[in-house]
Structure 1
Amino acid sequence: MAAEVTLRTVEPTPTAVVAAVTTWEEFPSAWRPMLDEVWHFLRNEAPSGLYRNGHNIMLYKDAVPSVEIGVQVVGGFDSHGRVVASSLPGGLVATATHTGPMAELDLTYRALDEWISQSAYRRVGPHWEIYGDPDRSTGQVDVEVCWLLAAA
C-alpha cells in the first residue's frame, strides 16, 4: 500500500546531532555509532531538561551524503565533543509516514517522489526522517519522511 503524501508547513525543530560526510556504502554502518554518541550525551552530560520525549532523526543535507544523525531536543546547547546543536529545517514540506518493515522504507520514498513529480513543487534542499516510538508488541517503528519544497 502506497504511503499517503501530504503538504504542510513545519517549524524548525532543535536537535542534538553528530554530523558527518560519508558515502552511501559506509552509511549503514556509520549511523548507529553516531546516534549512540548523541544518546550518551543526552543521558550523561546534557543540561537538565534538554531532552523531553524527542525522537531519533536522520537529516540528509545533500546527495553526497552529508548527514546529521541525532535526537529532537527542546533548545540549543554548547557543543560537547562531536555532539552539536542543530535543527531540522522549517518550511513547506511533502511528508509521508512509513508504516511497515524498514526494508520497505524505499516504497515511502517512491510515493514522495511520484507525488512531488506530479505537483506544482520542487525539491529545494534537505530531506529527513523522524523515527516514532516502537510499538511495544511488534517492535515496529513508524517513520515520518519529509522533503523540503518550494513552488516550481
Structure 2
Amino acid sequence: MIEAPRIVRIAEQLTAVIPFAIPRADIAKVMGPGIGELMEVVKAQGIGPTGPWFSHHHQMDPHIFDFEIGVPVSAAVKPRGRVKESRLPGGRVARAMYTGGYEGLGAAWGAFEKWLVTNGHAPARNLWECYVTDDVTELNRPVLGGE
C-alpha cells in the first residue's frame, strides 16, 4: 500500500494555488475545474508547472476541508481569478509513496499516521498529497521538533 515512510528535510516551495473551504463531499466537484484553471494561468505566465499538482490541507476536519489545490512554479504567479501565490512549507517532513487508486488513500493515510505515532513523531496540523501519476501519490506531513 505505502512504501516505508521516512523523515526528510525539504526547502520551502513557491506555488500557485486555488484555496477552498468546502464540505468534504464537494471535493470531487472542485478538483478537475480547479486544476484546469491553475494550469491555464501558470502556463500563460510561463512559470510552470515545475512539478506534479497537489492538495495542501491546512488542518483535517471530518466535515469541512480547508485546503488548496496547487502546482509548484518557478516564479511568483500574478494573481488571476481564484489563482494566487502560496508556498508549501520547508523543514522536516514525514514522507511516503502510495501506489493505488483514490479509494485506497484513506487507508494509506491511516497506515502513515500509525507509523508517525509508533515512531514518536509529532505531526503538524497540515499535510499534502502530490499526485505524481494517476496511481502514485506522495504523502507528506510536517513533523514538529527534532533536528
TM-score by length of 1: 0.85
Match of 2:144 among 127, 142, 150: 150
* Residue type at the aligned position of 2:52: H
Aligned twin of 2:135: 141
Q: Unaligned regions of 5+ residues in structure 2, if any?
A: none
Give the 5 Å matches for 1:66-85.
Answer: 66-85=66-85
Instruction: Tell me which stretches of 4 or more aligned residues in structure 1 moved more than 2 Å.
Output: none
How far the C-alpha of 1:112 sits from its partner, in A, is: 1.0
Give the 5 Å matches for 1:1-152.
Answer: 1-44=1-44, 46=45, 48=46, 50-51=47-48, 53-63=50-60, 64-132=64-132, 134=133, 140-151=134-145
In 1, Cα distance between equivalents of 2:78 and 2:131: 25
In 2, Cα distance between equivalents of 1:54 and 1:142: 14
* Residue type at the aligned position of 2:26: E
Give the 3 Å change call, closer, same or farther, for CA 125–91 of structure 1 in structure 2: farther
Question: Deviations along 1:63-108, whole A, 9 cap, x unmatched?
Answer: 2321110211112132112111111111111111011222212232
How far the C-alpha of 1:2 sits from its partner, in A, is: 4.4
In 2, Cα distance between equivalents of 1:59 and 1:127: 6
CA contact 2:52–2:72 (8 Å) conserved in 1? yes
CA contact 1:3–1:111 (8 Å) conserved in 2? no
Give the 3 Å change call, closer, same or farther, for CA 59–53 of structure 1 in structure 2: same
Identity %: 22
In 1, Cα distance between equivalents of 2:79 and 2:36: 16
In 1, Cα distance between equivalents of 2:41 and 2:73: 12
- What value does the CA root-mean-square deviation take over the aligned residues? 1.8
* Residue type at the aligned position of 1:148: P
TM-score by length of 2: 0.87
Number of positions where the alignment pairs a residue of Structure 1 with one of Structure 2:
143
* Residue type at the aligned position of 1:144: E
